[in-house]
């Protein structure tokens, strides 16, 4: 049985999720020794406080904002405490489905020729949205290393070109990653990340329409994955409990820091940019 503590901003939905997992989780009073759930704006401070109180692990729900200094300070303070992150635009349940598909024999083994990223979001959320889109590029390209080659500001956002090494085993090659990020005035926005290879993979997350769609196209035609059925918070909490009970290494915070640094480098108009 895992004790679960929640910061005030996410306390109500976490309580509902804990009740639905009564066989595995119980609500905790203090954060000490518990799985602490934090989220939304101010999540860095809440996570830091939970660490200071002696939390056993941290689950971050839909992180919003957080400077590079705050994230690095939090990572340094973690001291081996497990961090798990449930991202708003890259839900773990859908991510697991895509990874399972791409690791099936004969699927997605060839390097990609191109990865295209198209992101729109309110200006205040554009860095968060691009952070998750870059994470999707890593998932479908099966790489964790994206190198910024050139970027430039546009009237409402930025364009960029990155490189990644995609493929499996010895069959890898540098792949271009093309990014268009646009700030919008109305709506929550959407992202589309497309991998072009012998097997084409397209991820679409549209917050306004409430849709999450992954389409895989090969020589047999196009297949759309069934949408996730479980509530994202419940799934994230259940997976966090499972990971705490095993030996699975957990450092989602490091990946979040890496993706957010890349997104910040693309969008920061003060940064030195190259022609794309």
Average pLDDT, the chain: 89
Split at pLDDT 50, 70, 90, the class of 268 is confident
Is the pLDDT confidence value at 148 over 70?
A: yes
Q: What is the pLDDT of residue 244?
A: 83
Is the pLDDT confidence value at 248 over 70?
A: no
Tokens of 93: 């349940």
Taking the C-alpha atoms of residue 240 and residue 64, their distance in angstroms, rounded to an integer, is 20
Q: What is the pLDDT of residue 168?
A: 62
Tokens of 56: 């056993």
Tokens of 237: 């909490």
Q: What is the pLDDT of residue 165?
A: 75
Count CB neighbours of 37 within 10 A. Answer: 33
User: In sequence order, which ranges of 54-156 are alpha helices (DSSP H)?
Assistant: 68-78, 92-102, 126-141
End-to-end CA distance of the chain: 53
Average pLDDT over residues 232-260: 85
Q: What is the pLDDT of residue 272?
A: 53
pLDDT one-digit tens code per residue, 4-31: 999 999 999 999 999 999 989 999 989 9
Among 101-105, 224-228, 241-245, where is mean pLDDT lowest? Answer: 101-105
pLDDT one-digit tens code per residue, 48-89: 999 999 999 999 999 999 999 999 999 999 988 999 999 999
Average pLDDT over residues 30-48: 94
Average pLDDT over residues 86-97: 93
Among 11-15, 182-186, 206-210, 248-252, where is mean pLDDT lowest? Answer: 248-252
Q: What is the pLDDT of residue 114?
A: 92
Q: What is the pLDDT of residue 274?
A: 55
State the angle between helix axes of 126-141 and 252-267 in degrees (0 to 180), rounded to the nearest 10.
120
């Amino acid at each position: 049985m895992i004790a679960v503590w929640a910061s005030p901003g996410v306390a109500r939905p976490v309580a509902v999720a804990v009740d639905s997992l009564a066989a595995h989780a119980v609500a905790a009073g203090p954060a000490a020794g518990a799985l602490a759930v934090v989220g939304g704006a101010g999540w860095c401070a809440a996570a830091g406080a939970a660490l200071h109180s002696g939390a056993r692990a941290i689950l971050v729900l839909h992180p919003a904002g957080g400077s590079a200094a705050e994230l690095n300070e939090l990572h340094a303070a973690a001291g081996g405490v497990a961090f798990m992150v449930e991202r708003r635009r890259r839900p773990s349940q859908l991510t697991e489905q895509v990874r399972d598909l791409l690791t099936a024999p004969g699927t997605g083994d060839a390097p990609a020729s191109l990865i295209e990223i198209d992101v729109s979001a309110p200006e205040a959320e554009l860095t968060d949205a691009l952070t998750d889109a870059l994470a999707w590029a890593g998932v479908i390209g099966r790489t964790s290393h994206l190198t910024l080659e050139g970027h430039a500001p546009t009237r409402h956002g930025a364009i960029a070109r990155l490189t990644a090494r995609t493929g499996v085993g010895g069959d890898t090659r540098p792949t271009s990653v093309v990014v268009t990020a646009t700030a919008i005035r109305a709506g929550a926005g959407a992202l589309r990340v497309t991998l072009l290879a012998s097997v084409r993979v397209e991820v679409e997350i549209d917050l306004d329409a409430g849709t999450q769609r992954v389409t895989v196209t090969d020589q047999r035609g196009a297949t759309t994955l069934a949408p996730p059925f479980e509530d994202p918070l419940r799934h994230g909490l259940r997976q966090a409990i499972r990971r705490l009970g095993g030996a699975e290494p957990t450092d989602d915070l490091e990946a979040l820091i890496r993706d957010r640094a890349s997104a910040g480098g693309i969008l920061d108009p003060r940064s030195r940019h190259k022609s794309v």
